[in-house]
Amino acid sequence: MSTIPASAIPPAAQSGRPRLTATRAFTLLEILIALAILGLLVGLAVNQLGGTFDKARIDTARLFVNDSMKAPLFTYKMQIGDYPSSDEGLQALLTAPPSKADKWQGPYLEVQGGKLPLDPWKNPYQYRYPGTHNKGSYDLWSMGPDGKDGTDDDIGNW
């Protein structure tokens, strides 16, 4: 039987005491720094996404006033003979105006719940005929993010 030389046995085992091993762990300070960095990164990402959502709302309103309402309003004009007046508004696409009930063949716009759609900021779309921006046609617009008519952020079909 061979014996192991004393130099090959670790000192802790030679003394008969259990050997303590050093474990590597993160300190509380390191964890807090990592969380702060993650918080900053998340904040930057959310900030960038906020701009994306605002642009999507503007694009949605622009699509509605420039494209989605063209066919219903044109069909109304072809069957009735003219666009709805400012007083009749877009509601004339859903229910017959009393003075035009004999020619009305609508509804010209499919909506859920019988209500006109709101713009992305939950405000009603604005309609005027005859238009002030589009002479001889109609003006259709959203008051935009600020909800105020006649400001630079209005989104119209002009």
pLDDT on residue 132: 93
pLDDT on residue 28: 85
Please state the pTM of the whole predicted model.
Answer: 0.65
Write out the H or E segment, with its range, that includes residue 81.
Answer: none
pLDDT on residue 10: 60
9-39 b/e with 16+ CB inside 10 Å = b?
Answer: eeeeeeeeeeeeeeeeeeeeeeeeeeeeeee
Task: Name residues of the chain where pLDDT drops below 50.
Answer: none
pLDDT on residue 136: 87
pLDDT on residue 53: 79
- Going from N- to C-terminal start, the domains of the chain cover 28-156
pLDDT on residue 25: 78
Distance CA 88, CA 97 (A): 7
For tokens 């066919």, what's the residue? 71
Domain 28-156: which CATH number of 3.40.50.2300, 3.40.980.10, 3.30.700.10, 1.20.1250.20: 3.30.700.10
Give the angle subtended at the CA of 64 by the CAs of 139 and 85, to the nearest 5°.
Answer: 30
Give which of 125, 143, 141 is closest to 133, Cα–Cα: 141
